[in-house]
Amino acid sequence: MTTGLQGMKSPMMIDWLRRALAALCLVAGAVAAEPMVLYAATDRQVVEPLVADFQALHPDIRVEYHDLNSGELHERFLSEFGSARQADVLWSSAMNLQFKLVNDGYAAPYQSAETAALPAWAIWKGEAFGVTFEPVVFAYNTKRLAADAVPRTHAELVRFLERSPQRGLRVASYDPRGSGLGYLLHTQDMEANPVAFWNLIRAFGRTGVILEPSTAEMLEHLSVGRAALGYNVLLSYAMNRAAVDPNIGLLLPRDYTLVLSRIAFINRQAPHPQAARRWIDYLLSQRGQAMINRVGLFSVREDVPAGDHSVAELRRQMGSALRPVVISTGLLTYLDKMKRELFLSRWDAALSAPR
């Protein structure tokens, strides 16, 4: 009787050994791959195909993806900065908080052929890069509101709510205290049309607004009928939800539609700077931008082939009504402590105004 490996002659045993060896090689490769630590305010399940495609192109890099809300991402990065454990790249839709970190000197400059392909409004000093082109829309419950009854502009929305508080048509929107992105969008709305904005917030108070820190939670209220309308909802999330949920409808406001861009930047103390640069180049490349379209986040580059989720298609549909939030020092205006306190004080007063 023989023993040891030489005695294992059956095809089944040989196949088992081959599979085991392949698995060991995969594990060894994963351990050897350089990590790239990414803090992102985007649901992991949304961008999983993006991460998988990047790792297929760069098997020597292992993405450590941390799915955080925008405020948590900001605070965690600051608390860890200078420590042995910190992020290589930050990627968030809270453009104001991201820009503040860049402006305060936390970003490493980077230039490449891919960063040069961005539109001028989506880049800042080779340090902050706008990766997506995401309109902010009205959403609604299709069982409670017919499509032709949904307001088409911000002014129409105010009039609609002023006429119908008795119908119990509640609105779900961002909590400006609980969401960095929500605070940004509300202050951008105020800048666009201050009279209409404060009339709208007073109308929210009369109808009983539901305030949440994320688009996903707003969409859940719409889906089950707790709210009839969603205000300042991210189109990318709303489209993905509407594709599987017939209770969700959406509309791009015709007077103006804010467009945000998820800002990415490289930590100037990135533990893995080369891997971070390759991630930025991938996100901004035509391949990466096409994948961003595919997952429903909307590409920012003008030279990516047109499709339902491209900037070219959105501009064809909406024209000058699209209003991108520019990456500039203007993003810092309402992060000033006194301006923030004044805005939130006025917000509270408008919500509690007598009916």
In a domain, residue 327? The reply is no
- CB 150 within 8 Å of CB 138: yes
Report the pLDDT value the prediction gives residue 9, as an integer from 0 to 100: 46
Q: In angstroms, rounded to a whole number, what is the distance separating the alpha carbons of residues 246 and 244?
A: 7
Q: Do 221 and 276 reside in the same domain of the chain? A: no
In a domain, residue 57? The reply is yes
Per-residue pLDDT of the chain (355 residues; tens, 9 = 90+): 333 334 434 555 555 555 555 444 444 444 568 999 999 998 888 899 999 999 999 999 999 999 998 889 999 999 999 998 999 999 999 999 999 999 999 999 999 999 999 999 999 999 999 999 999 999 999 999 999 999 999 999 999 998 865 567 899 999 999 888 999 999 999 999 999 999 999 999 998 899 999 899 999 999 999 999 999 999 989 998 999 999 999 999 999 999 999 999 999 999 999 999 999 999 999 999 999 988 888 899 888 875 666 677 778 788 889 999 999 999 999 999 999 999 999 999 999 987 6
Q: Do 43 and 101 reside in the same domain of the chain? A: yes
In a domain, residue 2? The reply is no
Q: Do 123 and 45 reside in the same domain of the chain? A: yes
Q: Do 205 and 340 reside in the same domain of the chain? A: yes
Q: Do 93 and 53 reside in the same domain of the chain? A: yes
- CB 157 within 8 Å of CB 197: no
In a domain, residue 325? The reply is no
Residue 63's identity, in one-letter code, is V
- Domain of 244 in residue numbering reads as 134-259+333-351
* Structure token pair of residue 238: 């709303």
Q: Do 39 and 69 reside in the same domain of the chain? A: yes
Mode of pairing for the β-strands spanning 171-174 and 210-212: parallel
How many domains does the chain fold into?
2
- Cα 238 to its chain centre, rounded Å, is 12
Report the pLDDT value the prediction gives residue 14, as an integer from 0 to 100: 52
Residue 5 has φ and ψ, to the nearest 5°, of -65, -35
DSSP conformation class of 114: T
Cite the beta strand spans of the chain per DSSP E.
Answer: 34-40, 61-67, 89-92, 123-124, 128-130, 134-141, 171-174, 210-212, 229-234, 248-251, 257-260, 263-266, 322-324
Report the pLDDT value the prediction gives residue 27, as an integer from 0 to 100: 47
Nearest by Cα to 262 from 31, 70, 110, 125? 70
- CB 102 within 8 Å of CB 74: no
Alpha-carbon dihedral of residues 255, 297, 133, 319, nearest 10 degrees?
Answer: -40
In a domain, residue 123? The reply is yes
How many C-beta neighbours within 10 Å does residue 312 have?
16
Report the pLDDT value the prediction gives residue 25, as an integer from 0 to 100: 46
- CB 215 within 8 Å of CB 233: yes
Report the pLDDT value the prediction gives residue 65, as an integer from 0 to 100: 97
In a domain, residue 235? The reply is yes
Report the pLDDT value the prediction gives residue 30, as an integer from 0 to 100: 47
Q: Do 209 and 176 reside in the same domain of the chain? A: yes
Q: Do 76 and 219 reside in the same domain of the chain? A: no
Alpha-carbon dihedral of residues 50, 66, 43, 200, nearest 10 degrees?
Answer: -130
Report the pLDDT value the prediction gives residue 66, as an integer from 0 to 100: 96
Q: Do 213 and 239 reside in the same domain of the chain? A: yes
Q: In angstroms, rounded to a whole number, what is the distance separating the alpha carbons of residues 126 and 339?
A: 28
Residue 342 zone, left/alpha/beta (φ > 0; ψ -120 to 50; rest)? alpha
Q: In angstroms, rounded to a whole number, what is the distance separating the alpha carbons of residues 182 and 141?
A: 21
- What's the predicted TM-score (pTM) here? 0.82
Q: Do 346 and 281 reside in the same domain of the chain? A: no
C-alpha dihedral sign at 194, 200, 204, 205: positive
Tokens 């804010």 belong to residue: 258
In a domain, residue 212? The reply is yes
In a domain, residue 234? The reply is yes
DSSP conformation class of 306: P
CATH number of the domain at 138, please.
3.40.190.10
Q: In angstroms, rounded to a whole number, what is the distance separating the alpha carbons of residues 127 and 107?
A: 6
Report the pLDDT value the prediction gives residue 71, as an integer from 0 to 100: 86
Q: Do 63 and 73 reside in the same domain of the chain? A: yes
Report the pLDDT value the prediction gives residue 313, as an integer from 0 to 100: 75
Q: Do 123 and 265 reside in the same domain of the chain? A: yes
Nearest by Cα to 251 from 122, 338, 147, 334? 147
